[in-house]
Amino acid sequence: MIEEILDEINKIPSIRGSVVIGKDGIPIKSNLMSDIDETKVAAMIATMSRDIENSLRQKTTEHIFVSIYTTDGNIFFVSTKECILAVVTGKNINVGSIRIALTKQIKKIINLL
């Protein structure tokens, strides 16, 4: 079922892949293009998520949504207490559609874990 959710996310134009990551940084399930190292991406995103969550410790929030823009592409992720859902994209993207998809799909994934 998680595979189907990732397939649905990957239908958004310019998405190069998606991954569900455990809070420990281990990929739970991924659907990334072959040139993307899922282990490195998962570890990097989990580390950033942990650092952001530690910085926001005083504030309670259900989800943390993060956008990272680079010259080669972008990473978007939503972090919850259960897991992290991330996408890697090209440069030309519709941020709104990605944000809506991640917010909607993370709820489904949490129910499956």
The pLDDT value recorded for residue 62 is 76
Distance CA 61, CA 81 (A): 10
pTM beyond cutoff 0.85? yes
Asked whether the beta carbons of 94 and 13 are under 8 A apart, the reply is yes
CB atoms within 10 A of CB 26: 11
Tell me the mean pLDDT in the region 91-96: 89
Band of residue 99 on the pLDDT scale cut at 50, 70, 90: very high
User: Which of 31-62 are b and which e, b meaning 16 or more Cβ less than 10 Å from the residue's Cβ?
Assistant: bbeeeeebeebbbbbbebbeeeeeeeeeeeee
**Which pLDDT score, from 0 to 100, does residue 60 have?**
60
Q: How far is CA 57 from CA 1, 5, 102, in A?
A: 32, 30, 23
- pLDDT band, very low/low/confident/very high, at 48 (cuts 50, 70, 90): very high
Q: Which contiguous run of DSSP H or E holds residue 67?
A: strand 64-69
| Residue percentage of the chain with pLDDT more than 70 | 96
User: What confidence score (pLDDT) does residue 58 get?
Assistant: 58
